[in-house]
Chains A and B, each alone.
Chain A
Amino acid sequence: MNNQPVLDVSQLKTYFYLGENRVAKAVDNISFSIFPGETVALVGESGSGKSITALSIMQLINKPGRIVDGTITMNDQKLLELKPKQMTNIRGNDIAMIFQEPMTALNPVYTIGSQITEILRKHKKMNKKDAHQEAIELLKVVGIPRPKEILKEYPHQLSGGMRQRVMIAMAISCEPQLLIADEPTTALDVTIQAQILDLMAEMQKKFQMSLLLITHDLGVVYEYTDRVMVMYGGQIVEQAATKELLKLTKHPYTQGLLASLPNLDEDVERLGTIKGTVPPAYSFPHGCRFSSRCPYVMEKCTQSNPELREYDTGHFVRCYLYENGGSIK
């Protein structure tokens, strides 16, 4: 793998100013890199800041949210220093994004064709005819039957899976270096999920993209990704190669996530749960943000937030349990 990352996020902070002096630290000091051709998973419960991280990279944060600090570097270009106009050229062209709801992610009043050709004409400066040809090719690539007819159809005439394929076709139309997929299969049924994920993996190989896959499905993570970052409370709490992380899970939060998965080999009465819920982003507990729900909480944990430290090669954990060579279980 190439050493030069496609995307480098450093100390990114995205806060939401909710008024009454409440500040929701939705993304708080996150740093990570994505390398060419790599598939990275961003995992966490609802409200842990996954989507906000993705939207921050795209700079699509709406008020009252704001990127407070940090740098996002792509190909030696500091994205946060770009003018809004320059950023619209990056979006879709260098970084593309797929959303969770294929039902609403397409504009209902335009045909599929006009929505795909719109991007091609904007970013690739194609003329109408070429864009039309290219759109047919793209639909073929993402495995849509009868592409010529589908181009003339409206989003309401397609099924959810088809729409997500169209979204993928739109996302890859400009051969971006990085594709961000924000829970792309959550709204689809299980058989379609596998098809869409396979398609994305295939596209990734074909176009040599990097993929940032946001999900809370650890099965998907295991199947499709090289590296995992686990997010909790706007921070990365554990980061490692996928196989390593799932086998040698360190952070109590990640362990909790894994314990809550059904397992075919064991016969258990009840699935494991993590007690409590994610605290709202404006009132994290003092110290470690997971301390209010952690089964191994120590006095130290409520006093200061541990650093994200490398305990094994490439395995980063934000937890005091491992500080002096310690371990759990």
Chain B
Amino acid sequence: MQTSQNNTIQIESIDQPDRKHRSPLQLSVHRFLKNKLALVGIIVLFVIILGAIFAPYLTDHDPRKSNLMLVEQGPSSDNILGTDASGRDNFARLLYGARVSLTVGFSAMLFTLSIGLVLGALAGYYGGKIDNFIMRLTDLVLALPFLVLALTIIALLGKVTIGIFVTVIAITSWPTLTRIVRGSFLSLREQEFVLGARAIGASDFRIIFRHFIPNAIGPIIVNATLMMATMIIIESALSFIGFGIPQPTPTWGNMISEAQSIRILRYHPEAWIPPGVGILVTVLAINFIGDGLRDAFDPKSDRR
């Protein structure tokens, strides 16, 4: 028998499986970097953060100092965006306002995250009465209209500082995150590797921090990011109606509230459009980042 060349079976080299040691986190970072919109979001947010940090180097004006001789001026070489009703430089206020908006957004998010993480972890890990109590508490807070609650607290306290403002936002918006954390903990509790970890002698503390949080980190980060955008909007909204951080501290919200005056609204668009755009762009950038993170942490998003 002759073996012709046609008879030999062609064995195609099987693609070597990805032998690189990539952790789920590294895979997520890889997916995130492939997302163009999220990258743009990161860059834009980075530029805004830089502007806020280096505000003193970008303008010579003090954003709090009023100059009653130069009220509601149009753009000039000295005041690029003109001045507001008290004669404060709008450009300086825009840069310093970014500090406040970002600080409020970020710290309110951190504060909310820590409340949500702790309460959600307790509820999801221990279950039973603790879970029941915490969940009823979230129901209670969710049942209260946010704006009314926030306004009441602020009105009762009278003077509003950034710290108070952040606290008010945090104690009214923790329930969503608590529920998310609790939900993922509940499902993780049933996983066999948790039983396995307990079988090799891991403590409750260790299981929560080493086994639960890393496995639940995806949805937590995504929601925290999107929450930060919401916090910035809440700050501007409350400032706009005069319940935010009071003058002379510059925030984007109280800059826009200047436009409540028809005169400024009509004749000085340079005073209120930049902070408005600032809010819009910042929130959009954060939301893009949040969406990017959501896709990055979802292993199924590759199939799209």
Contacts and interface: CB of A to CB of B under 8 A. Distances in A.
Contact of A107 (B25, B197, B198, B203): B197
B195 A63 contact: no
B192 A104 contact: yes
Given A101-B192, A109-B214, A60 B198 contact: yes
B133 to A, nearest CB: 16
A109 B23 contact: yes
Contact of A63 (B23, B24, B25, B127): B127
A97 B23 CA distance: 26
B199 A96 contact: yes
A191 to B, nearest CB: 22
B193 interface: yes
A108 B24 contact: yes
B200 interface: yes
Contact of B200 (A63, A100, A170): A170
Contacts of A108: 24, 193, 215
Contacts of B150: none
Interface in B139-157: none
Given A108-B24, A111-B21, A90 B201 contact: yes
Interface string A2-21: 00000000000000000000
Given A99-B196, A109-B215, A154-B21, A123 B128 contact: no
A109 B24 contact: yes
A63 B193 contact: no
A58 interface: yes
A305 to B, nearest CB: 32
A154 B23 contact: yes
B21 A153 contact: yes
Size class of B's contact patch?
20 to 34
A90 B21 CA distance: 33
A90 B25 CA distance: 33
A63 to B, nearest CB: 6
Size class of A's contact patch?
20 to 34
Nearest to A123: B201
B237 to A, nearest CB: 38
Given A109-B214, A111-B23, A153-B21, A60 B202 contact: no
Nearest to A151: B21
Nearest to B18: A157
B16 interface: no
Interface string B25-36: 100000000000
Interface string B208-227: 00110011000000000000
A241 interface: no
A62 to B, nearest CB: 8
A106 interface: yes
Interface string A68-90: 00000000000000000100111
Contacts of A89: 201
B191 interface: yes
Contacts of A119: 200-201
A106 B21 contact: no
A109 B203 contact: no
Interface in A237-251: none
B199 A109 contact: no
Interface of A: 58, 60, 63, 85, 88-93, 96-97, 99-101, 104-111, 118-119, 122-123, 152-154, 157, 167, 170-171
Q: Which 5 A-B pairs have the closest CB atoms?
A: A92-B200, A92-B201, A91-B201, A97-B199, A104-B192
